[in-house]
Structure 1
Amino acid sequence: MSGNGADGTAAGKRPNEQLGSWFVRSGWSKGELARQVNRRARQMGAHHISTDTSRVRRWLDGEQPREPIPRILSELFSERFGSVVAIEDLGLRTAHQTPSVSGVDLPWAGPQTVALLSEFSRSDLMLARRGFLGSSLQIAAGPALIEPMQRWLVPTPAADVPAPLAEERRGHRLSPLELDLLESTTAMFRQWDAQCGGGLRRKAVVGQLHEVTDLLQESQRPELAERLFRCAAELAELAGWMSYDVGLQPTAQKYFVLALHAAKEAGDKPLGSYILSSMSRQMIHLGRPDDALELIHLAQYGSRDCATPRTQSMLYALEARAYANMGQPAKCRRAVRMAEDTFADAGLDGEPDPDWIRFFSEAELNGENSHSYRDLAYVAGRSPTYASLAEPVMERAVELFAKDTERQRSYALNLVGMATVHLLKREPEQSVVLAEQALGIARKVRSERLNNRLRKTVDTAARDFGHVAEVVQLTDRLTALLPETAEAV
């Protein structure tokens, strides 16, 4: 019975109308859903799960499956519809979770932040199989996410910030030179992520984060403890970004939240705004542009007096993405102009940019703005006007990324973006050429986010232009060369 993830109760069941509604709208057959559940369970190490069509029928008839089946179903339907479909939305029960493992409303205090970072990174290292740790988590959205994050701006009483953090513990006192090496290692990890995707070095980043939390539990001089908190914040954000890149959405959000807490302890508001921007990108990806906009406005408000022009430009660009996905073209275009104008000031004041924002180049600016116009085109019912606005900006992004050998994932993502623009303009042959280029890069990097965008674009091409020979050939090549077997590490 446990092998099928069922709770074994049979009497008194009523049909699960909520699950049935999502199932019907998905267009899946019972067999297809069963196969997807089994595949996801294998990816997360739950090899005891063996679901079939009769088991899916029982769920629809009201049987309550055991964990991790509800989490798997939530993830599958969320991915299918491009927005968060919670376990409760499916009419399923969720297991009780302790506050230290679930949720995002955490204490804003140094010792608790260190303890939670240590606990979460250790659990991730011990259960480092795709989705296994994420199966004990759930994505927060709406007020449950926004309200706790607003406390980022609330001043912490001085008495709540011990200096040093743990005076009673004796251990390794870090030297400035050792801390320099830790910070340079973080920058190296960030470069590896840009080159190779989040799937290649995620465990290494989590391991480094866990080591930093150990150091934070020792007695350190206040100025070094502050730098250590900044290092922990950067590593946690990067661990979250890599988790997001390989499809571990609840895990990614947990790391982002912990990173924001660490940034607050470091007193680094620009870094906090950057972490909030990563959370905003995730919300756009999950079909929650209203939440994304709230997070971006919180980032802008919190860092308006201290962020460099490059950081402010990035925040405006993401504000435009959120407005685009909300179907507000005037506000979107205004934010695009602000992003462009502010970027023109980058570096002019002589103030050096932190390493974490140096990725935001002219290529990234054009990529973000072109995707805003592309998203507007989709929201406006495949508007050719917005597709035409996106095309030259996307072409410039692709041109610039083609020259940057260290940002292959971004290059491929913008190739896919350009392919979608050509589909909007009903030019499938041109779209196939770009998708083929992206496929070549996707086979070399470890990014499930890139793979999924490529699959979705090719699926759209096959649906709209299935009669075109080039589209048929690309569909076959994608199936053969990019099977859905990627696992996070």
Structure 2
Amino acid sequence: MGDSDTDLGHPIKAEVWESGEMRDALANRDVSVVYRLLRKEGVSQRQIAALTGQSQSEVSEILKGRHVIAYDVLARIADGLGVPRGYMGLAYDEATAVSVVGAGAESSDEQPEEDESVKRRRFLAHAAQVTMGAAVLGTESGPVAAASPATTPAPGRIGMADVRQVEAATRALRALDYQYGGGFCRDAVVAQLSWGQQLLTAGGAEGVRSRLFVALADLHSVAGWTSFDTGLVDVARGHFSSALELAKQGGSDPLVANVLYRMGRVYLHQESANDALKLFQLGQIAAQESGSELAVAVLCANEAWAYALLGNAEQASKLLGRTRDEFARADLASAESWVQFFNETDVHAMVGTVHTVLAQTVDRSHTKYAIPALSRAVENYGEDMARSKVFNLSSLATNHLLEGDIDHGSRVGRSALDAAEGLKSKRVRDRMQPMKKEAERRANNVDARDLVERINDFYAA
């Protein structure tokens, strides 16, 4: 192939992609090696630029070793050069999806306007692919941070101090989310992520880059959680997918488990218990690989919640028992920052939450287990966990209403509403629905009617 303009649009011969060296480079998404191998085949920098839609200076930088991470860029390169997408891990492995998740991912060509159930299956397929060993970057990633221009240029080479800066910012932003809700800090998270993503193109020692992958995975996880908390489910899914891939790239099984737990929580919130359970079970694979009893405990507790929603009281109770056992063996002092939230108070909260669901779906007598557990959680949650406290107050009110203690239930419900003032969280509104439903069922009682009015006023505000 020459450098003449007439050659620019000519496709590269298919056999170029079949050599062992090229297949390895494509599988590793090492675009720098791919371009160097194309140059050996006589493809010029100008041809590569024209086919991929890049500038010649970009191609030159990549040839010199610049990493390409963003999914949209990788996809454009693959399509422009004529690379089969599967060679770069840009297509789902259907066999993996079927064997691990139990459902194949549907093609977007077959269903252009995807409904939520299709999106869930696609994420499950990708989660299975990554969790079971395919360390791929960007398969489900959306335009999560590109829209926010960075105001601070990233360094050309990074050290551990740069990574620690990302980690510190993530801890601070997570704390704000817990205390005030995702709506309070989501924009700040995305802005921090916009800057942090640039670090991926900087040079640095291997150990620094590995830790950077994990740090950015955690930041993406916070971005996903705050997006979910504000009702942006599709955006959350994109962030969690990026977090999953980066955590796998950084070799952090505990963080892989945590990301899968958080996306499973999104599905629980949507009352898609079966899909949530599949993610939690995938998360258990990573949690057990990591050797983190605390991560295992988190997954067990949430599996119990999913089984409760499915009406399986026996399995839910067994998993709550295992949650307690794993938590008792966990080394809390050395736990990673993203799982430190799961302390004794949160164990009580999960026990109370699971029995609340069982009281609603299986047998009202589960209130006798839910009420003491939720009461302990409410008592021990501080201002730093204001949102969790509201969740538990509204669940506690629901249980008292279920028991027929309307006066006390309404009083607790009003406390939940008072505590929710100032929180910027759509989930708080959504999690109050069971309390509202039980109060409406008892509308002949003046306290219950007052609670319903207060809830409606809260929603309206």
Output the TM-score relative to the length of structure 1.
0.65
Q: 1:172 Cα deviation (Å)?
A: 1.9
Deviation of residue 459 (structure 1)? Answer: 4.0
1:142 to partner: Cα distance: 5.4
Question: 1:155 offset after TM fit, Å?
Answer: 3.3
Which residue of structure 2 lines up, in the alignment, with residue 354 of structure 1? Answer: 336
Residue ranges of structure 2 left out of the alignment (5+ in a row): 1-65, 76-112, 137-153
In 1, Cα distance between the equivalents of 2:351 and 2:250?
32
8 Å contact 2:135–2:245 — kept in the other structure? no
2:406 aligns with one of 409, 428, 446: 428
After superposition, the Cα gap between the structure-2 partners of 1:174 and 1:326, relative to the gap in structure 1 and judged at 3 Å, is same
* Aligned pairs for 1:48-447 within 5 A: 113-115=69-71, 139=116, 140=118, 143-156=121-134, 172-347=156-331, 352-380=334-362, 383-401=363-381, 404-447=382-425
Instruction: Tell me: CA distance 1:118–1:433, structure 2 relative to 1, closer, same or farther (3 Å).
Output: farther
Deviations 1:5-38 (A, max 9, x none): xxxxxxxxxxxxxxxxxxxxxxxxxxxxxxxxxx
* Cα distance in 1 between the residues matched to 2:455 and 2:311: 32
CA distance in 2, matches of 1:439, 1:184: 32
Look up the equivalent residue of 2:365 and give its one-letter code: T
% same residue: 27
SS at match of 1:367: helix
The size of the alignment, in residue pairs, is: 342
What's the CA shift for 1:241? 0.6
**Which range moves more in the overlay, 316-325 or 422-431?**
422-431
Task: Answer whether contact 1:367 1:393 (CA < 8 A) is retained.
Answer: yes
Q: What is the Cα deviation at residue 476 of structure 1? A: 2.5
Q: CA deviation at 1:300?
A: 0.7
C-alpha contact 1:118 1:210 (8 A) present in aligned 2: no
Q: Summarize the Cα distance change of 1:374–1:112 in structure 2 as closer, same or farther, 3 Å threshold.
A: farther
For residue 309 of structure 1, report the CA deviation from its aligned partner.
Answer: 1.8
- 1:138 to 1:237, Cα distance in 2 relative to 1, 3 A: farther
Secondary structure in 1 aligned to 2:255? helix
Amino acid at match of 2:131: L
Gaps of 5+ in 1: 1-109, 120-135, 159-169
Offset of residue 456 of structure 1: 4.7
Q: Secondary structure at the residue paired with 1:445?
A: coil
Deviations 1:271-325 (A, max 9, x none): 0000000011111111111111111111111231324222211111011111111
Q: Using the alignment, how far apart are the partners of 1:443 and 1:174 within structure 2?
A: 42
Distance 2:205 2:179 in 1: 35
Q: AA paired with 1:377?
A: A
1:455 Cα deviation from its structure 2 partner: 4.7
1:21-60 to 2 correspondences below 5 Å: none
The corresponding residue for 1:472 is 449
Letter in 1 for 2:238: K
C-alpha RMSD over aligned residues: 2.6
Which amino acid letter does the alignment assign opposite residue 449 of structure 2?
Answer: V
Report the alpha carbon displacement of residue 221 of structure 1 after superposing the two structures with TM: 2.3
Q: How many angstroms apart in 2 are the aligned matches of 1:303 and 1:476?
A: 44
Structure with the larger RCO, 1 or 2 (CA within 8 Å, 6+ apart): 1
In structure 2, do the counterparts of structure 1 residues 416 and 267 end up closer, same or farther at CA, with 3 Å as the change threshold? same
- Cα contact 1:327–1:379 (8 A) shared by 2: yes
Determine helix, strand or coil for the equivalent of 2:329.
Answer: coil
Post-superposition offset of 1:113 = 4.8
Per the TM alignment, residue 153 of structure 1 is displaced from its structure 2 partner at its CA by 2.8
**Aligned-residue offset at 1:137:** 8.0
Distance 1:229 1:484, change over 3 A: farther
Which has more helix, going by share of residues? 2
TM-score (norm 2): 0.69
CA distance 1:262–1:113, change in 2 (3 Å): farther
Whole-angstrom CA distance in 1 between matches of 2:419 and 2:287: 36
**Distance in structure 1 (CA, Å) of the matches to 2:200 and 2:174:** 22
Q: Runs (4+) of structure 1 moved beyond 6 Å? A: none
